[in-house]
Amino acid sequence: MIYDPRRMTSNRYDELPYADYCFPRTHPEHLFAVSALCGRAAPPFARCRVLELGCARGANLLPMALDLPGSEFVGVDLSEVQVAEARDRASALGLTNVSFRAESIAALSDDAPFDYVICHGVYSWVPPAVRDAILAACRGRMRPDGVAYVSFNALPGWNALRTIRDFLREHAPPGPAQERVLRARRALAALDGSLQADPSPWSAWLRAELRELGGADDAYLFHEHLAAVNDAVYLRDFAAHAAAHGLAQLADADLRVAAPALRPGAGDPLALAQSVDFAHNRRFRAALLVHGETAAGPADPAALARLHLATRAGVPDVGAAALTDDRPVTFACDGRPVVLRDPWMKCALHALASEDRRPVSYAAMAAAAAARLGLDRRAALGAAAAHAPSMLDLLLDGALSLHAGAARYAEAAGLRPLASPIARAQATGSDEVTTLRHTRIALPDEARAVLRLSDGTRDRAALLAALPRDARPEAERAGDCEQALDWLASNALLVG
């Protein structure tokens, strides 16, 4: 069969488009920061050119354009329908630093070089010729110091998942998308029922996968498990393909996935990463690619001095003395404990936790730790350098997140609160909105109305007057409005 990309797009992605998602690890700030952590200078992220291959309706690129007004963004997608919608969204938001083009990856019209190239959710889902075009575009359109992000379904994890995909394609033959999804869901239910009668380790694993897939949206089920092309690859084979195009893997975009190869003394980083993929049955990867033959190597703890850190850990309920002596202190971070004994480490993580996920420069964090411990300048500098490897461990373990600069959103609601215009638009028809951290978050009902009204024109009195009235006292309504604004600020939904 001759591959016709425009027919493929019309039959699949326009018929049942993916839900709108942003992908935090594709943001140029993250690509810049990971490159810096690996000892490699990348283009300044605040003033850069970014190309996204497979931009769909712009859900990933538009928030970046809003966040970085000094940068230029170009999105490319085969779907004329989705590109038209992306253009309409950009126009409604008044964004002039982003453009969208309906064209093939193999025939890009913009010849100017890009600092960052993003290709999420495309490589495994297109034929080999298009995969070549993706890597050729990364090679040919990216500046010498640029960074590309290319994600793909990975082996060995997809070896077992292939069983589910083959089963669903067997029971949902070609036809209208929604009809195929309905057939697939019926097949999932029938398979789950049959597995109940035959308990075994295999059936237990398979039923867990079926439950997860049953909760997925229709577009994911259709494109991931029913599409004609979904080719998972081993990391080593992807790296070889990239090398054939003059590209080398710098790291995985997820630092927890990249951690084994980034730790000092890791040896051959690619061989180690592939071995770890076998051990963890890895099913997805997001490679950061750069020009050259060999790029991967250990992270440099000293690089943290030029970067920012944040944490989702909460502030522990302990007295000040517990931070400065050698007693263990437990920080709760995303449901798992982080136990520290070292006084400097405890004070440093406490300083980050006190900022409610806002990035803090390594220098400011170290200064806060030194002040709490009463260190003089010379001792403070020595402690900051000596503890950098331990902070790197926390980062690679997932207790910290890496950033290249300070937060670009409001710490608290102003006199006339202004919420992200993208989030305000999304709140009219979605349960989730995109934050100014380039993440998605579920929007509580009590915050939805306040978010939609926070357009920078209303003070507190005007907000209260515009909100639906009920039997509660005005003071209670005002308190609830303030709590909603606090929630919006804490979750990076208010513009600074």
Q: What are phi and psi of 98, to 5 degrees?
A: -140, 140
Report how far residue 309's alpha carbon sits from residue 37's, in angstroms, rounded to the nearest whole number.
12
Q: How far apart are CA 12 and CA 197, in angstroms?
A: 36
What pTM, to 2 d.p., does this model score?
0.95
Report which of 390, 397, 458, 378 is spatially closest to residue 424, judged by C-alpha positions: 458
Measure the CA–CA gap between 85 and 378, rounded to whole angstroms. Answer: 57
Scored b (16 or more CB within 10 A) or e, 102-141 reads beebeebeeeeebbbbbbbbbbbbbeeebbbbbbbbbbeb
**Which amino acid does the sequence have at 255?**
L
Whole-angstrom distance, CA of residue 380 vs CA of residue 344: 10
Q: What single-letter DSSP state applies at residue 154?
A: B
Whether the CB-CB separation of 341 and 326 falls below 8 Å is answered with yes
The single residue listed with the structure tokens 């993208």 is: 422
User: Cα–Cα–Cα angle for 316, 317, 321, nearest 5°?
Assistant: 90
Report d(CA 22, CA 73) in Å as an integer.
15
By C-alpha distance, which of 353, 380, 350, 352 is closest to 367? Answer: 380
**Dist CA 338 CA 313 (whole Å):** 8
Tens digit of pLDDT at every position of the chain (496 positions): 233 444 444 457 899 988 899 999 999 999 999 999 999 999 999 999 999 999 999 999 999 999 999 999 999 999 999 999 999 999 999 999 999 999 999 999 988 999 999 999 999 999 999 999 999 999 999 999 999 999 999 999 999 999 999 999 999 999 999 999 999 999 999 999 999 988 999 999 999 999 999 999 999 999 999 999 999 999 999 999 999 999 999 999 999 999 999 998 878 899 999 999 999 999 999 999 999 976 667 899 999 999 999 999 999 999 999 999 999 999 999 999 999 999 999 999 999 999 999 999 999 999 999 999 999 999 999 999 999 999 999 999 999 999 999 999 999 999 999 999 999 999 998 999 999 999 999 999 989 999 999 999 999 999 999 999 888 999 999 999 999 999 999 999 999 7
**What is the distance between the alpha carbons of residues 445 and 464, in angstroms, rounded to a whole number?**
16
86 phi and psi angles, rounded to 5 deg: -60, -40
How are beta strands 336-340 and 329-333 bridged, if at all? Answer: antiparallel
**According to the model, what pLDDT value does residue 35 have?**
96
CA distance 28 to 457: 31
State the pLDDT at residue 3. Answer: 35
Structure tokens at 239: 């790296």
How far apart (Å, rounded) are the C-alpha atoms in residues 424 and 428? 7
pLDDT of residue 4: 43
Q: Are 350 and 323 in contact (CB under 8 A)?
A: yes
308 close to 360: Cβ distance less than 8 angstroms? yes
